[in-house]
Homo-oligomer: A and B are copies of this chain.
């Protein structure tokens, strides 16, 4: 298993990325190719001393696409950026998968451009795997395609279904459509047409999902357009963070509540771990040929490590073959 990791992408790159890569190489024994500025990466590896595993190599990329550059333009202009070089390693078969916590739009663009889409797929979609009150759920798309057509959303349902079945081992996959009301006739014309398509597909389509049902675990795959999905992803993350700050403020107000907080700490930590995206790896980019995992911009070393592990599983379990089989049906 040989995996390329974009050493330069993400808010804490390259240090965190390199640390995560070293952890993955040690723990799982994969060959890791760090893509990025050779001098910087070598210095960082040197700091980590003689213990840096032999299975880690470097592939030089002289440029970096920053987190807020326009995606398509930067991919075209910065041909030697770590994202482009990583995508080319994937295209040339030099690695089995590519992991990047960099500019999401640029990763989607570079990989789709170099690898093309899986046979029969119209558009790539980014899938988020997240915990609910029951099992893990897949939300797709969370930002690859902000102006989708109904048939794109149908395919997101099919791809999400394949991910649940073959990566997460779910036997019966319940699919829902994120909408503003439960009834069939709710939402925009776009939503009504998507509802119709999903309803007449082979999927176990349960119907419309409201925002309030995203975390109940009643659905295994929730389909939405990339604009709404992106907002949901970011709102959820920030709300969890905001509530933690609110609670901390309140706990600090009394001496008894401070003692209570100390005693409760293991529970807070367990909760933090349960909802921490870094435990679940990154967001698989579905629909493109070749395996790409998009890491969170704020990824920790552990998140990078788990994204690498997820990429390897994605390869081993041949998820892309399963997606193609499902799309061809």
User: B-contacting residues of A (Cβ < 8 Å)?
Assistant: 68, 70, 132-133, 143, 146-147, 178, 180-183, 185, 187-189, 210-216, 226-228, 230-243, 245-247, 250-251, 253-254, 256-257, 259-268, 270-271, 274-275
Contacts and interface: CB of A to CB of B under 8 A. Distances in A.
Main secondary structure of the interface of A (DSSP, over half): helix
A193 B72 CA distance: 20
Contacts of A241: 215
Contact of A232 (B182, B211, B253): B211
Contacts of A181: 68
Contacts of A235: 211-212, 214, 232, 235-236, 239
A242 B274 CA distance: 12
A234 B257 contact: no
B188 A211 contact: no
A231 B180 CA distance: 7
A180 B267 contact: no
A215 B227 contact: no
A132 to B, nearest CB: 7
A227 B179 CA distance: 8
A267 B247 contact: yes
A234 B250 CA distance: 25
B251 A188 contact: no
A11 B245 CA distance: 31
A215 B235 CA distance: 8
A245 B211 contact: no
Contact of A275 (B243, B253, B268): B243
A177 B20 CA distance: 36
A147 B192 CA distance: 13
Nearest to A105: B181
Which 10 pairs show the lowest CB-CB distances between chains A and B? Answer: A260-B263, A211-B234, A260-B264, A250-B267, A215-B242, A212-B234, A211-B235, A211-B231, A212-B238, A257-B267
Nearest to A264: B260
A243 B211 CA distance: 15
A236 B215 CA distance: 10
Contact of A133 (B180, B227, B245, B268): B245
Given A187-B227, A254-B267, A238 B260 contact: no
A247 B241 CA distance: 14
Contacts of A146: 180, 187-188
B239 A267 contact: no
B143 A180 contact: yes
